[in-house]
Structure 1
Amino acid sequence: MSLLEHLERQISGLSPSHLPSLHFVVAYSAGIDSHVLLHALWKLQQVKKTPFTLSAIYIHHGLSENADLWQQHCADVCAGLNVEFASAKVTLDLSNGKGIEAQARDARYAKLVEMAPTDSIVMLAQHQDDQLETVLLQLKRGAGPKGLSGMDTYFTSAKPGASQQNVHFFRPLLDISQQQIQHYAKEQSLVWQEDESNQNTDFERNFIRRDVAPLLNERWPHIAQSVARSAKLCAEQQALLDEVSLEKLQPLRKPNNTLCVKGLLALTEAWRIQVVRLWLDEQNILSPSQAILSQLSNELLLSAQDATPIIQWQSWQFRRFEEALYVITVPKDVKSCSTVLSLSKKYELPLSLGSVELVSAQHLADNKPFLAIDGSDNSPELGKITLSFGGFSRRFTPHNSPHSKPLKQWFKQWHIAPWERCHIAVISQNERIVGLLRKGAFLPSQHSADLRARGDFAYGLCYSGE
């Protein structure tokens, strides 16, 4: 079967029933693989009259001095084919410790999701030899069946900030060899660009492509097909595993996207790890290593009730609170500090938590949260108004409570997780707590609430959102 016939069959297998129409967006890099995919799709339009809309996007990573040339090449090719073309630059932070390959890939996919029209299908040009490289890399990393499934043929990503708007990704050439792609390019007299970084074997994938795969193909000419078949079998097994894991996960769900610790402990160790992996996958969180997941039971789930254990990997943490397992981004702590507030002077809260401003009553906006502050027109002396973080041993009498307790006791009673407490601002007047500010909402003291109810205040502390 020719590459064109294979591509036509792949497209015919797509069901447009859930899509308004078929709009293919080729992720075009100027290299041979994506150029062949673009040209073959264009040819299906012209010769086979296959009904779909075709466009292309080039992502400029800024890693090569030739990137501008490649972008222009893509634009020229698309102009020659009368295919709509767009491009965008992404910025990589090479100092964050993440590999260049991984960072470039993540930035590229994020930008494609952002730019591609809703419900379009982004066509990716990875082929059978790329799948071989992927599986070998996963073997090197000690992956299980999910990793050994290699690259998915089809997957969907939500557009940022729009949960109901999706972009679909499709790899129609995963059963096509690099040799078939080169044959098509030669047959159609295509001209493409070579990325000089492909020669750098410091990159793991290039090392496999240049030094390892040729040896494997020389000894076993059909190794790529065999590995692709194994990847599909692993994907099928993983799908079955996920199906059963989901059944075990459902009864463990608790509010705030947490899991029941008691229910997790009732599972065997193997199922516990599998269920947690699935839970993380649902949130698009890269699972930690098997070694880290193996620590989960003894170091966190079975820890003492009053303990606050933390298991951390990359930018994530497992935390336990009130018999629930949480996964959170590594929190940025606000150090204990205190600031004296001045009238009509805006104060920016740390960590972009918003801002507050002490103003007179006539300047209070109805649509903004505010905390009533003691004082009147006849006696405008406010005393010392402070905003602080930390110091949770101080006593506080909240609205609708006759009792005073240390703040840490109220936090426990209000079920506020330990990692959230340092973000709560404490507002005091002459050393007495008059209110708290948490997640953009004021919790007044009984005294402050009474002032507001009577309208017996001349000042208010206003909050502007995060």
Structure 2
Amino acid sequence: MARERGAAFVLTAHHADDRLETFLLQWLRGAGPAGLAGIAAVRGAADRDGGLPAVRILRPFLDTARSVLADHVARHALATVDDPSNADTRLARNAIRTEVLPQLAAIRGGYRKSAARSIDLIADAAELMQELGAELLPWCTDGAPADMLRIDRLAALSPARRALALRAWLARAGVEAPSRARLREALAQAIEGAPDGRMRIRFGRQELRRHRGLLCLRVPDGGARGRERLQWRGEPELPVPSWGGVLRFVPTDGGGLDAGFDADWLRARPLDLRSRRGGERLKPHPARPSKHLKHWYQERGVPEFDRAVLPLLWRDDRLIYAAGLGADVRFVESGAGRIRIEWVGAVDLLTGLAGDVVPRLPA
């Protein structure tokens, strides 16, 4: 609503008591510094969306006690709305407000100011930790493909810094802050697990995976897809929504690895896009024998967890093209009027990594 009206700010009436209640709730839940810092006075500007202006959330009363605001409302006879659920002490926040805070006031009358000072210090510490994590990221991603994290660089850090770096990397990817236990599990599997062992840790909608010395995030595949029958009539590309990608048909006059299919041959019969079932063979290079797809994927460095999203293209029950590998050379030739097939999917593959990504660390 604020964006639609062109508002640059939204002000809320959160006050000092709200902040203290939030701190105690987070403390009971075992939150870390970021959670204990509680309600922020300013929430960062939201991303621009659809050309509408960004909106910032401001909370100008975080240093003002509830009693001060209540007196002001009563003195000026301001209209208010009361939520009946605020009186339900079965809810933890209400119990803290009506039962715990009065007891704290009885023990130490000035506790609100001292508690607010402690929360400010925790907020400062949380901000410094976030900044340190962000500063570690360039070093932990140096030399790695985009959006990947190097395990060797994480392992070279102290345990506390590892956690900060991984948190910062996950936050940059839009992952909601994980629990300390989940973060420690991820670090343990990444650093202490067998290099060739499988790693799959769920963070929201995504999964944390490991491949040849790298950490990456992947959205889990939805499962095996059925056969998709296509008829190419000369279009530059054919969208395949069920696979989340596009088959491109690129004219080529080259030879060798740039050789292509005969255009009339491709048009003459339907093409089938299928999932891999195991046992399929391909000959992607003229000087090398036909081998199982698993062998070629391993040689190309395509992670096991990415292979399920790579379709196979068949013509008359003969495999002619495998996404991530290329065409079977027995069906392509050099010369004019040839067509090279390309698959453009939603996943950027971790291909071409011949070995573990462990460059020498700086002195």
Equivalences for residues 145-294 of structure 1 within 5 A = 145-159=33-47, 166-253=54-141, 254-294=144-184
Could you tell me how far apart the structure 2 residues matched to 1:165 and 1:222 are? Answer: 42
Q: Which residue of 1 is the match for residue 227 of structure 2? A: 338
1:135 is aligned to 2:45? no
Deviation at 1:256, TM superposition (A): 2.0
Deviation at 1:373, TM superposition (A): 6.9
Deviation at 1:319, TM superposition (A): 1.4
Equivalences for residues 67-106 of structure 1 within 5 A = 87=1
Q: Which residue of 1 is the match for residue 336 of structure 2? A: 454
Q: Which residue of 2 is the match for residue 407 of structure 1? A: 293
CA contact (8 A) 1:333 1:422 kept: no
CA contact (8 A) 2:48 2:54 kept: no
Q: Which residue of 2 is the match for residue 369 of structure 1? A: none
Q: CA RMSD in A?
A: 3.9
Could you tell me how far apart the structure 2 residues matched to 1:156 and 1:376 are? Answer: 57
Aligned residue pair count = 330
Q: Which residue of 1 is the match for residue 9 of structure 2? A: 121
Amino acid corresponding to residue 157 of structure 2 in structure 1:
L
User: Equivalent of 2:281, from 376, 379, 395?
Assistant: 395
CA contact (8 A) 2:21 2:97 kept: yes
Q: Residues 224 and 267 of structure 1: is their aligned pair in 2 closer, same or farther, counting only changes over 3 Å?
A: same
Could you tell me how far apart the structure 1 residues matched to 2:137 and 2:109 are? Answer: 43
Overall identity of the aligned pairs, in % = 25
Q: Residues 256 and 161 of structure 1: is their aligned pair in 2 closer, same or farther, counting only changes over 3 Å?
A: farther
Deviation at 1:322, TM superposition (A): 1.8
Q: Residues 388 and 170 of structure 1: is their aligned pair in 2 closer, same or farther, counting only changes over 3 Å?
A: same
Amino acid corresponding to residue 124 of structure 1 in structure 2:
T
Deviation at 1:259, TM superposition (A): 1.5
2:121 alignment partner, SS class:
helix
2:176 alignment partner, SS class:
coil
Could you tell me how far apart the structure 1 residues matched to 2:73 and 2:330 are? Answer: 79
Structure 1 residues 88-138: Cα deviation after superposition (integer angstroms, max 9, x where no partner): xxxxxxxxxxxxxxxxxxxxxxxx6x64748x2332321111101110111
Could you tell me how far apart the structure 2 residues matched to 1:251 and 1:465 are? Answer: 29
CA contact (8 A) 1:116 1:122 kept: no
Amino acid corresponding to residue 314 of structure 2 in structure 1:
S
2:46 alignment partner, SS class:
strand
Deviation at 1:164, TM superposition (A): 12
Structure 1 residues 287-331: Cα deviation after superposition (integer angstroms, max 9, x where no partner): 3222222223432322222211122244343211121122344x1
1:422 alignment partner, SS class:
helix
Structure 1 residues 249-303: Cα deviation after superposition (integer angstroms, max 9, x where no partner): 3211132222110111112222211221232233342232222222234323222
Q: Which residue of 2 is the match for residue 350 of structure 1? A: 242
Deviation at 1:230, TM superposition (A): 0.9
Q: Residues 157 and 434 of structure 1: is their aligned pair in 2 closer, same or farther, counting only changes over 3 Å?
A: farther
Amino acid corresponding to residue 235 of structure 1 in structure 2:
A
User: Equivalent of 1:312, from 202, 209, 222?
Assistant: 202
CA contact (8 A) 1:376 1:456 kept: no
TM-score between both structures, scaled by the size of structure 1:
0.60
CA contact (8 A) 1:259 1:324 kept: yes
Q: Which residue of 1 is the match for residue 211 of structure 2? A: 321
Deviation at 1:356, TM superposition (A): 7.3
User: Equivalent of 2:320, from 431, 434, 457?
Assistant: 434
Amino acid corresponding to residue 16 of structure 2 in structure 1:
Q
Q: Residues 116 and 283 of structure 1: is their aligned pair in 2 closer, same or farther, counting only changes over 3 Å?
A: farther
CA contact (8 A) 1:116 1:167 kept: no
Equivalences for residues 410-429 of structure 1 within 5 A = 410-429=296-315
Q: Residues 274 and 116 of structure 1: is their aligned pair in 2 closer, same or farther, counting only changes over 3 Å?
A: farther
Could you tell me how far apart the structure 2 residues matched to 1:162 and 1:195 are? Answer: 34
Amino acid corresponding to residue 455 of structure 1 in structure 2:
G
CA contact (8 A) 2:4 2:52 kept: no
Q: Which is richer in strand?
A: 1
Could you tell me how far apart the structure 2 residues matched to 1:193 and 1:395 are? Answer: 70
Amino acid corresponding to residue 310 of structure 2 in structure 1:
I
Q: Which stretch shows the higher mean deviation, 276-285 or 261-270?
A: 276-285
Q: Residues 419 and 124 of structure 1: is their aligned pair in 2 closer, same or farther, counting only changes over 3 Å?
A: farther
CA contact (8 A) 1:121 1:170 kept: yes
Could you tell me how far apart the structure 1 residues matched to 2:84 and 2:331 are? Answer: 67
Q: Which has the higher contact order (CA 8 A, sep 6+)?
A: 2
Q: Which is richer in helix?
A: 1
Amino acid corresponding to residue 274 of structure 2 in structure 1:
S
Amino acid corresponding to residue 308 of structure 1 in structure 2:
R
TM-score between both structures, scaled by the size of structure 2:
0.75
Amino acid corresponding to residue 222 of structure 2 in structure 1:
D
Deviation at 1:408, TM superposition (A): 2.8
Q: Residues 126 and 428 of structure 1: is their aligned pair in 2 closer, same or farther, counting only changes over 3 Å?
A: same
Q: Which residue of 2 is the match for residue 56 of structure 1? A: none
